[in-house]
Amino acid sequence: DESGSMSSEWESLKRAYREFLTRRNDDQGGDDHFTVVLFNVGARTITQQQRLVNTPRDLPGLNGGGTIY
């Protein structure tokens, strides 16, 4: 959720995302595939069906907006 209401939590969410990827890597999740979708009034795919090694380690900046999903 990258809606405006998440602005105060965005950095914490990004940190949790990086920690999750690190944990999967440490737990031998190298063969896992990831799709990352951010949403507010619409959805945008950041990465789709990528192995862990090719999955972005950081999320882009917050777009803001409302939430419809």
Question: What pLDDT is attached to residue 11?
Answer: 92
What's the CA gap between 35 and 48, in Å, rounded? 4
Tens of pLDDT, residue by residue over 43-55, are 889 999 999 999 9
Summary mean pLDDT of the chain: 88
User: What's the whole-model pTM score?
Assistant: 0.82
Q: Is the dihedral of CA 52, 56, 57, 62 positive or negative?
A: negative
Q: Is the dihedral of CA 46, 61, 13, 58 positive or negative?
A: positive
Helix (H, G, I), strand (E, B) or coil at 37: strand
What's the CA gap between 34 and 66, in Å, rounded? 25
The band of 69, judged by pLDDT with boundaries at 50, 70 and 90, is low
Residues in the chain, overall count: 69
pLDDT at 66 over 80: no
pLDDT at 68 over 80: no
